[in-house]
Chain A
Amino acid sequence: MKTAVITGASSGIGLAALVELAQKQYAIVGVGHDANRSEQALKQVLAAVPGAHVRFVNGDLMQQREVTRVAGEIGAILESEYNGKLDALVNNAGCVRSWYTTTEEGYEQQFALNHLAGFLLTYHLLPQLKRAGGRVVFTGSESHKHMRVRWNDVMFFSGYHPLTVYKQSKLCNILFAKGLNDRYLADGVRAYVVDPGLVCTDIGNKNTGSLVNFVWKYRKKHGVSPQVPAKTYGYLVETEPAPEELYYYRCKPNRYSREVTSENAGRLFELSERLCGIQYPASEPGKGGKT
């Protein structure tokens, strides 16, 4: 049985992707923030796909100690039941903040959740991904275009604007995916970014200020159902041979920003390693699963 881990899986795009992969017979660990919401989500999944192999682990992925704990729990599940193999990791959890707010480490929350959490979780699950020749999929956004990483102030200590910070975090998703491919393609691990388009989810209504809340309440009505982008996740983790491009919209490759270069990807990789206090292992071609 193939395995998948999906973060932000208790609602929105994450939940739809979870249902999509459950239909494809994956054993899935969903990561949610809130135990009650995860329980509701689990009921929904089991109603849609009776007998699905789904369970939830809960944690606040904004906080690094929580990412590490969640990764440990997932690792233990994979080791004991699935030969320590992970076929798909979907780094989907994300947030929008109206104001500059920080995590326990003093990191800006959007940067911490939308980028660093995925960076750290992927690091912890890399051995399992390598064993299965797994794929890593990020939830990106078309909004990453016309944006540069603000290298001298990635946390936006000055000039905080919710959308700009969000856009940078989504650019970071593609840069990290590129960085992963640059390092671990030879190990059989491949990363993609999904552009979900405008989707009707609650991302702009969770712990945001009244303005973002108000705007998103109307904007999301024009969005498609989360089931639409969910197909792309199914496509990217299932298709053989593996799709070659980096950035996909509705199962088709899409153009991405010119800022996405190996140089920028490497720079973000190093910065993120420092901010997480980790060092990704060197590539070991041949030691992984399928290549």
Chain B
Amino acid sequence: MNVFISGASGGLGRALANECGKRGFNLFLTDINEGGLKSIQRGLERQFGITVTTAACDLTSDESVDALLEKIDGYGIRFDMLLNVAGVDYEGGFLERQRRDIIRIISLNNEATMRVTHAILSRRREGHPFYLLFTSSLASMYPMPLKATYAASKRFLLDMAVALGQELKQSRVRVLALCPGGLVTTKEAMSGIEAQGFWGDATTNPLEKVAARTLHRLQGRGGIYIPGALNRTLTFFGNLLPRRWVAAAIYQRWSKAQQQWNPSKIKTRTPA
């Protein structure tokens, strides 16, 4: 089983890579952070003795991805699984963020993901099932004030996953949208979850379990995977309410959490 992982040197990417390593899959890893890629490659080879190939790449650049594909075609690699993990978000409300940061969310989360998905799907192993993961988010379930661009970008991935799942069914491509709540991947994530207090803890999912179940679900029936019973319940009831009400409630919660977390970021306004 040959697996391509984007964003492999970040928290969720590493956890999924570990899970693949445990299952003895061969990995092709990419990330913008070259040092991080080399580290995770070493770790995987030492732990599991699997074949790991890495190539640093800026997925938002067509040239960079072309170079990556040349490398893949040079090796003649054909893939059985694609885990789209690379994604980004920046803190702060819409007008507090830099214009370029907002565009970058779309370029990486959506544009780059489409670029990679098309490229790797075209290089799938013929006559075999293919497994395709989109890392969406719990944020994709509702419009989210203060995280509006991010939430909308994740909604895009969710809809893509569901639609492609149907479109490519005949080609034996199984598609899963992963919609996790908080995941403890970085120190920033840790402090962000702490700032949300009870709800932060309650909607946070254990990274290693999410990684294991994601692969399980992906190789099983695909569809949409929302980790955590509470998250599933909240999503179910949230979908019954008018979207404007849910957005208002989320605004209340996030503005409070953000003030607690870093008051300076809420107050400062940078003209875009």
Task: Using CB atoms and an 8 Å cutoff, list the residues of chain A in contact with chain B.
Answer: 63-65, 98-107, 155-158, 160, 207, 209-211, 213, 274-277
Contacts and interface: CB of A to CB of B under 8 A. Distances in A.
Nearest to B45: A277
Contacts of B164: none
Nearest to B183: A99
A105 B194 contact: no
A99 B212 contact: no
Contact of B14 (A106, A211, A277): A106
Nearest to A112: B43
A275 to B, nearest CB: 5
A154 to B, nearest CB: 9
Contacts of B35: 65, 104
A107 B190 CA distance: 18
B212 A102 contact: no
B47 A275 contact: yes
A104 B194 contact: no
B47 A209 contact: no
Interface string B203-214: 010111100100
B149 interface: no
B36 A101 contact: no
10 contacts: A99-B204, A100-B207, A102-B18, A106-B47, A107-B47, A155-B18, A157-B212, A210-B200, A275-B47, A277-B46
- Which of A63, A103, A157, A158 has the most B CB atoms < 10 Å from its CB? A157
A99 B184 contact: yes
B39 A210 contact: no
A31 B200 CA distance: 33
Contacts of B63: none
B201 interface: yes
B208 A160 contact: yes
Interface in B183-198: 184-185, 187, 190, 193-194, 197
B18 A209 contact: no
Given A99-B184, A210-B201, A277-B46, A104 B39 contact: yes
B206 A99 contact: yes
B216 interface: no
A99 B190 CA distance: 9
B206 A106 contact: no
B198 to A, nearest CB: 8
A202 to B, nearest CB: 15
A75 B201 CA distance: 43
Given A160-B206, A277-B46, A101 B39 contact: no
